[in-house]
């Protein structure tokens, strides 16, 4: 009896799971592998959720999320100036992932091509495939700071291309797309009538220029869906609150899609999100912590011969080049784990263009970072 659909048969756990499983069998492990803030959610946000529970916010909310939460989103961050209508242009979802999957569920059909940067966050391609679409890679390179280039996007466009996925600040590279390049990308999107999916889940974590949302460029609001979440900005990964803001035509279909999949995002978590979105200083504090750690990790890498890297402009990742050690990124990271008990993620896990690199997340304490870097240095000296 075959009960599984073809779609289900193609589902696999992400490539980095094996590293974590292996690390779980070891002691004294330092993990620079995890893509989530290690600190607890700021206490006032937790208190807002507790208050919501005490006040009886324990029921379903509207499928699109509470109006209060949608209003708070419309007044948040760089999209504030676009005045999204909370009634028709915003949906609250279980995390940014929930927003992405709902969006893809309403725009992708068999054979549709979606352009995605390579290296990329692991889940984009699998989500596109899950809905019957074809993920098409647009390679980026270290020489251009891993910034996706408008001309490379244009070369990959066919009559089947429907949308372009952008992720700035980027996971895994930490790159931020400068406004000038975004302008060129916007021109390409308009010329080829593409939808742009702008994943901005790291937009509060930046160390140089403030990231610009492509949705704010002329003519782009009507062809962009902004995806964001509170996971990284407020150390709220477990709360599962994200959102999408975009054209009413698209959001109005994501709402019944959500009705059929999860009904709505968690009610007390939405109340907590309202509090968080009204207190941007809480996310600024997190950014300050990551800024200090970024300095520790880059200072540590500077002291290791054979490793080079581009200073990350955002998120909490650095993506150093390890090619001089003459092994694949998977061999390097597996040996690093076995010999020094440090978890870093092989660049190849993020796509072909990631081979020769590894992703280090500075989502562990300063002491662990210092110790982890010493171990990496020792490892590099042994294998040279």
Q: How many CA atoms lie within 13 A of 381 on its CB side?
A: 10
**Range in contact with ligand PLP (rule: CB under 6 A) among 79-87, 93-101, 158-166, 283-291:** 93-101
Helical ranges in the chain per DSSP H: 6-9, 17-23, 43-54, 67-74, 95-107, 123-130, 150-155, 179-191, 248-261, 267-277, 280-302, 329-340, 366-383
Residue choice 199, 203, 310, 368 for contact with ligand PLP (CB under 6 A): 199
Residue choice 137, 139, 237, 298 for contact with ligand PLP (CB under 6 A): 237
Residue choice 97, 148, 164, 364 for contact with ligand PLP (CB under 6 A): 97
**Range in contact with ligand PLP (rule: CB under 6 A) among 90-98, 127-135, 263-271, 361-369:** 90-98
Q: How many residues does the chain have?
A: 384
Residue choice 41, 74, 167, 224 for contact with ligand PLP (CB under 6 A): 167
Question: β-strands 242-245, 224-229: how paired?
Answer: antiparallel
Query: Which of residues 33 and 145 has its CB atom nearest to ligand PLP in the complex?
Result: 33
Q: Which residues contact 280 (CB under 8 A, 6 or more apart)?
A: 76, 77, 204
Which residue is nearest to ligand PLP, using beta carbons? 95
Residue 200, interface with ligand PLP (CB under 6 A)? no
375 contacts 33 by C-beta, under 8 angstroms:
no
Query: Which of residues 167 and 270 has its CB atom nearest to ligand PLP in the complex?
Result: 167
Burial class (CB in 10 A: 0-12, 13-18, 19+), 111: exposed
User: Which residues, in sequence order, are bridge partners of residue 321?
Assistant: 308, 357
Residue 31, interface with ligand PLP (CB under 6 A)? no
* 157 torsion bin: left (phi>0), alpha (psi -120 to 50), beta (else): beta
Q: Which residues contact 320 (CB under 8 A, 6 or more apart)?
A: 301, 307, 308, 309, 357, 358, 360
Looking only at residues 240 through 259 of this chain, which bind ligand PLP when binding is defined by CB under 6 A? Answer: 242
**Range in contact with ligand PLP (rule: CB under 6 A) among 95-103, 156-164, 334-342, 357-365:** 95-103
Residue choice 127, 161, 171, 283 for contact with ligand PLP (CB under 6 A): 171
Question: β-strands 113-118, 90-93: how paired?
Answer: unpaired
Binding string, residues 32-61; x marks residues near ligand PLP by CB under 6 A: ---x--------------------------
Residue choice 121, 275, 316, 362 for contact with ligand PLP (CB under 6 A): 121
Residue 290, interface with ligand PLP (CB under 6 A)? no
Residues that bind ligand PLP (CB under 6 A): 35, 95-97, 121, 167, 171, 199, 201, 229, 231, 237, 242
């Amino acid at each position: 009896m075959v009960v599984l659909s073809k779609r289900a048969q193609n589902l696999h756990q992400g490539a980095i799971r094996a590293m974590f499983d292996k690390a779980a069998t070891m002691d004294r492990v330092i993990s620079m592998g995890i893509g989530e803030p290690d600190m607890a959610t700021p206490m006032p946000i937790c208190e807002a959720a507790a208050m919501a529970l005490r006040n009886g916010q324990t029921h379903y909310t509207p499928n699109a999320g509470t109006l209060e939460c949608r209003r708070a989103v419309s007044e948040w961050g760089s999209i504030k100036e676009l005045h999204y209508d909370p009634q028709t242009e915003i949906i609250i979802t279980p995390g940014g992932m929930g927003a992405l999957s709902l969006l893809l569920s309403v725009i992708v059909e068999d054979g549709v091509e979606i352009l995605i940067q390579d290296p990329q966050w692991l889940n984009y391609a699998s989500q596109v495939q899950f809905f019957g679409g074809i993920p098409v890679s647009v390679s980026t390179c270290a020489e251009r700071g891993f910034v996706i280039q408008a001309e490379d996007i244009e070369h990959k466009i066919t009559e089947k291309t429907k949308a372009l996925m952008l992720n700035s600040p980027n996971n895994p590279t930490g790159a931020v797309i400068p406004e000038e390049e975004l302008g060129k990308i916007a021109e390409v999107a308009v010329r080829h009538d593409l939808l742009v999916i702008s994943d901005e889940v790291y937009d509060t974590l930046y160390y140089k220029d403030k990231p610009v949302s492509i949705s704010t460029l002329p003519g782009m609001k009507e062809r962009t869906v902004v995806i964001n979440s509170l996971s990284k900005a407020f150390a709220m990964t477990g709360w599962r609150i994200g959102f999408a803001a975009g054209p009413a035509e698209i959001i109005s279909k994501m709402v019944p899609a959500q009705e059929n999949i999860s009904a709505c995002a968690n009610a007390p978590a939405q109340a907590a999100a309202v509090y968080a979105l009204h207190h941007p200083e809480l996310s600024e504090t997190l950014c300050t912590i990551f800024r200090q750690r970024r300095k520790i990790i880059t200072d540590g890498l500077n002291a290791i011969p054979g490793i080079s890297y581009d200073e990350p402009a955002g998120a909490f990742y650095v993506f150093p080049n390890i090619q001089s050690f003459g092994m694949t990124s998977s061999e390097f990271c597996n040996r690093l784990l076995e010999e020094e008990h440090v978890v870093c993620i092989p660049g190849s896990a993020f796509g072909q263009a990631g081979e020769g690199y590894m992703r280090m997340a500075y989502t562990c304490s300063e002491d662990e970072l210092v110790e982890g870097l010493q171990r990496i240095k020792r490892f590099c000296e042994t294998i040279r």
